[in-house]
């Protein structure tokens, strides 16, 4: 048998096993996806995950990764994982409240001081308890990862202060907490799946959007957006989701392998977010974006009425528990 790139993986594995005098081992194939490009903080996450699962299961479980929303946007992917038509996905919490309402609290703007604070909450008891909330909805949530700190871009005008946002038509995620909050800025929110955003910006269907530097770079939004305001208005968690039935079918050792692989994936994912944040402004400026440092406290103050509403909805004590977490 001669091998080339078209040789099916299974045939290859069987041939290797035969050559080694071993019985061919059954292989399981699974699929995972992200909505952004492979060369990104999320791409590195799922690539490391697939590699670690392969290694830790001695090649018995192969994960095929799909990038750039080729299996659909995040809402669609989460739905597919819930149904089991796709085993895994790595998604921002954008669409998550539609499936697991308990996780909504994490999407409140200005909830976390910075990434370190967010990571500590997610890795601590609050975050770990929230991961368990996914189980009754058909998911095994393997780990919290990170999408990053979101900033605003648009091609209408320089946004220096909250008032400049009034009347801007901005694409938002399909996330009820973001939508409610951004109305408080005077923005006209237009929820839309991520794979449609580039074209919507290009064609002027919306004036702007908001995303972490990692996403702005990976999606090349600099090509269709002029102004970037470093509003840092909300932390965007990500979560590695698996279909619950697929996870339950695994042996105890393989379950542990998946959980350990997810930990490695998150390390790589967060490290890449830090890297992107460190170089993002310079890179996006060099690509022609006008980058504006803003007084974040003013943007936070603009949301005071919305915050009063959130405190009623989520319970002030629950919000404070996260804000004051050390």
Nearer to ligand EAX, 61 or 193 (CB): 193
Nearer to ligand EAX, 74 or 164 (CB): 74
Pairing of the two strands 188-191 and 169-172: parallel
- Interatomic CA distance for residues 182 and 172, integer angstroms: 9
Using CB under 6 A, which residues numbered 6 to 35 contact ligand EAX? 35
What string marks each residue from 205 to 224 as x (binds ligand EAX by CB under 6 A) or -? ------x---x---------
Over its C-alpha atoms, the chain yields an Rg (Å, rounded) of: 21
What string marks each residue from 48 to 87 as x (binds ligand EAX by CB under 6 A) or -? --------------------------x-------------
Q: Which of 49, 66, 182, 194 binds ligand EAX (CB under 6 A)?
A: 194
Min dist CB 316 to ligand EAX, Å, is 28
Min dist CB 209 to ligand EAX, Å, is 7
Partnered with residue 172 across adjacent β-strands are 191
Min dist CB 36 to ligand EAX, Å, is 5
Partnered with residue 64 across adjacent β-strands are 31
Which residues, other chains included, contact 157 with Cβ-Cβ below 8 Å and sequence gap of 6+? 164, 168, 227
Look up tokens 């996806």; give the residue.
33
Q: Residue 177 interacts with ligand EAX (CB under 6 A)?
A: no
Min dist CB 32 to ligand EAX, Å, is 14
Q: Residue 273 interacts with ligand EAX (CB under 6 A)?
A: no
Which residues, other chains included, contact 121 with Cβ-Cβ below 8 Å and sequence gap of 6+? 112, 127, 322, 325
What string marks each residue from 247 to 266 as x (binds ligand EAX by CB under 6 A) or -? --------------------
Q: Which of 30, 33, 36, 302 binds ligand EAX (CB under 6 A)?
A: 36
8-32 b/e with 16+ CB inside 10 Å = b?
Answer: eeeeebbeeeeeeeeeeeeeeebbb
Q: Residue 94 interacts with ligand EAX (CB under 6 A)?
A: yes
H or E, element range at 61:
strand 61-66
What string marks each residue from 134 to 173 as x (binds ligand EAX by CB under 6 A) or -? -------------x-------------------------x
DSSP assignments along 189-239, one per residue: EEE--GGGHHHHHHHTSSSEEEEEHHHHHHTTGGGT--EEEEEEEEEEEEE
Q: Which of 86, 92, 154, 243 binds ligand EAX (CB under 6 A)?
A: 92
- Interatomic CA distance for residues 8 and 5, integer angstroms: 8
- Interatomic CA distance for residues 259 and 288, integer angstroms: 41
Binding site for ligand EAX (CB under 6 A): 35-36, 74, 92, 94, 147, 173, 194, 211, 215, 236
């Amino acid at each position: 048998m001669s091998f080339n790139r078209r040789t099916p993986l299974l045939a290859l594995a069987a041939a290797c096993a035969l050559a080694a005098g071993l019985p061919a081992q059954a292989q399981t194939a699974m699929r995972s996806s992200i909505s952004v490009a492979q060369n990104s903080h999320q791409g590195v996450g799922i690539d490391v995950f697939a590699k670690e699962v392969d290694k830790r299961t001695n090649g018995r479980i192969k994960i095929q990764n799909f990038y750039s929303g080729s299996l659909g946007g995040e809402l669609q992917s989460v739905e597919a994982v819930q149904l089991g038509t796709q085993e895994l996905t790595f998604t921002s919490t954008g669409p998550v409240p539609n499936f697991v309402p308990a996780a909504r609290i994490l999407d409140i703007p200005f909830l976390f001081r910075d990434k370190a604070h967010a990571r500590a909450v997610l890795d601590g008891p609050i975050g770990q308890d929230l991961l368990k909330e996914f189980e009754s909805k058909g998911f095994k949530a393997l780990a919290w990862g990170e999408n990053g700190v979101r900033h605003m871009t648009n091609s209408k005008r320089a946004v220096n202060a909250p008032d400049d946002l009034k009347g801007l038509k901005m694409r938002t995620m399909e996330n009820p907490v973001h939508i409610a909050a951004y109305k408080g800025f005077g923005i006209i929110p237009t929820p839309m799946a991520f794979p449609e955003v580039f074209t919507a910006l290009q064609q002027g269907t919306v004036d702007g959007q908001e995303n972490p530097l990692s996403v702005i770079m990976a999606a090349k939004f600099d090509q269709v957006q002029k102004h970037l305001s470093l509003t840092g208005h909300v932390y965007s968690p990500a979560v590695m989701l698996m279909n619950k039935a697929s996870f339950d079918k695994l042996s105890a050792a393989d379950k542990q392998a998946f959980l350990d692989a997810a930990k490695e994936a998150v390390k790589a994912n967060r490290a890449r977010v830090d890297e992107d944040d460190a170089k993002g402004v310079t890179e996006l400026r060099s690509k022609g974006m006008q980058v504006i440092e803003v007084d974040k406290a003013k943007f936070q103050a603009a949301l005071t009425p919305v915050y009063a509403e959130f405190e009623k909805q989520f319970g002030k004590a629950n919000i404070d528990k996260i804000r004051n977490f050390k």
